[in-house]
Chain A
């Protein structure tokens, strides 16, 4: 066998090996891409579930606010109605901010954001309208939302989406605890409740780097007194 034969064989062998590696790489990249697509689809589904819940919360607050603003005097909690309406208004606006933040995440994950008009709110069976029941309903819903957001962090694949989801989840926990304490009768509206509604859960997000003005980052530390 001549040297030419050897180098031709070497060339063929290394060429074949290179081709095989190329095929291998292409197949592996294809598998990674397939996995990424599957993960994106899972992210989009999870984020759309959260978006749907936000729209439902907005609708639920729509229903509640109408009643809370002017409850009948026969309602034992009627005196709490206007303060509860102010809180509900604030929380509803924050849920709107949450929905707005979720929409681009769904799109970025390759999904189609759920259409708000397709989401309905159905009051739970046995709910009769009263100030007390509406505060309880909101507390139950906010608790469920806080749990859902936290659970979503188990599977979301991107740190950016996780940041926003955690930032919203932290605010849902704030909504929950305020309502929970009111519903339990442990807390009641304070002397500034009517004038400082914005201080009842002061920001829509805990911390989103790209949106500090809507985050707790923009809430000034409280000052010590002498």
Chain B
């Protein structure tokens, strides 16, 4: 064997060893996904279950808003709230669709909508205010759940999706909370035509190539003095 042959064989073996070791290390620690089912599937499926539940809760509350009982103190607000609640229910459906796609993309099976049932909490009577309270508490819980999920999800793309939805549910929550605490009130002259602007988008950042994030909401212009 010549010296150059020795070097070249050593180089080949060494290179193979390095490549093999690198591949092993990359498989072990270079990404966040361990062997076996992707752990993000379980987290995303729990969020999906919550979305199905929210959709069913809104479905249960909508008739009360649409036709409040006679004598309901907030009966006059029912129809406007009905339109807003319908819209938010649609936003939850879009969240569910995004979660389903994310679960499938990592090899999981999305939890079936029919496996989730909504049961009104104890002490709940169907009034406009109580429907708002129910939604407010649920949206708060959802925002918190999404934030906790961000901490638990291993893939940045899934954390982005969870945070993107969290920002929307946070808006649902604060609108209801501020109204119920009476720190803000609907402006009678603006609310009727402004229902589409009460949480105007489904996501914070445009998602899946659609104009469905706050990026699609134009900046306000300034008026001259």
Contact = CB atoms under 8 A, between A and B. Distances in A.
A79 B13 CA distance: 80
Interface in B94-149: 121, 123-125, 127, 129-130, 133-134, 136-137, 140, 143-144, 146-148
Given A28-B21, A184-B190, A184-B197, A146 B133 contact: no
Interface string A153-173: 111110110110111011111
Interface string B181-199: 1111111011100100111
B185 A178 contact: no
A66 interface: no
Given A150-B160, A166-B166, A189 B222 contact: no
Contacts of B144: 206-207, 215-217
B17 interface: yes
A153 B156 contact: yes
Contact of B166 (A143, A151, A201, A206): A206
A32 B23 CA distance: 11
B152 interface: yes
Nearest to B13: A20
Interface string A128-152: 1110110011011001001101110
B143 A216 contact: yes
A134 to B, nearest CB: 9
B14 interface: yes
Given A133-B222, A169-B163, A216-B144, A25 B184 contact: no
A217 B151 CA distance: 15
B20 interface: yes
B81 interface: no
Interface string A184-217: 1111111111001101111000111100000111
Given A147-B204, A150-B160, A166-B159, A199 B181 contact: yes
B174 A201 contact: yes
A226 interface: yes
Interface residues of B, number: 81
A170 B184 contact: no
Given A150-B160, A185-B187, A193-B184, A207 B143 contact: yes
A130 B205 contact: no
A181 B184 contact: yes
A136 to B, nearest CB: 4
B147 A28 contact: no
Summarize B's interface: helix, strand, loop or mixed.
Answer: helix
B127 A173 contact: no
B172 to A, nearest CB: 9
Contact of A150 (B26, B186, B205): B205
Nearest to A217: B144
28 contacts: A20-B14, A24-B18, A25-B25, A126-B224, A128-B225, A130-B223, A132-B223, A137-B220, A146-B167, A153-B163, A154-B157, A162-B159, A170-B143, A173-B170, A180-B200, A181-B175, A181-B184, A185-B194, A190-B184, A193-B183, A196-B181, A199-B183, A206-B146, A207-B143, A219-B140, A224-B121, A225-B127, A225-B129
Task: Return the 5 tightest CB-CB contacts between A and B, nearest first.
Answer: A24-B21, A136-B220, A186-B194, A24-B18, A207-B147
Interface of A: 17, 20-21, 23-25, 27-29, 31-32, 35, 124, 126-130, 132-133, 136-137, 139-140, 143, 146-147, 149-151, 153-157, 159-160, 162-163, 165-167, 169-174, 176-178, 180-193, 196-197, 199-202, 206-209, 215-217, 219, 221-226
Given A32-B25, A170-B147, A199-B177, 18 more contacts: A17-B13, A28-B18, A126-B222, A126-B224, A128-B223, A128-B224, A136-B220, A149-B167, A154-B156, A163-B148, A163-B151, A166-B166, A170-B170, A173-B168, A177-B199, A186-B186, A219-B140, A224-B134
Interface of B: 13-14, 17-22, 25-26, 29-30, 121, 123-125, 127, 129-130, 133-134, 136-137, 140, 143-144, 146-148, 150-154, 156-157, 159-160, 162-164, 166-168, 170-171, 173-175, 177-187, 189-191, 194, 197-200, 204-205, 213-215, 217, 219-225
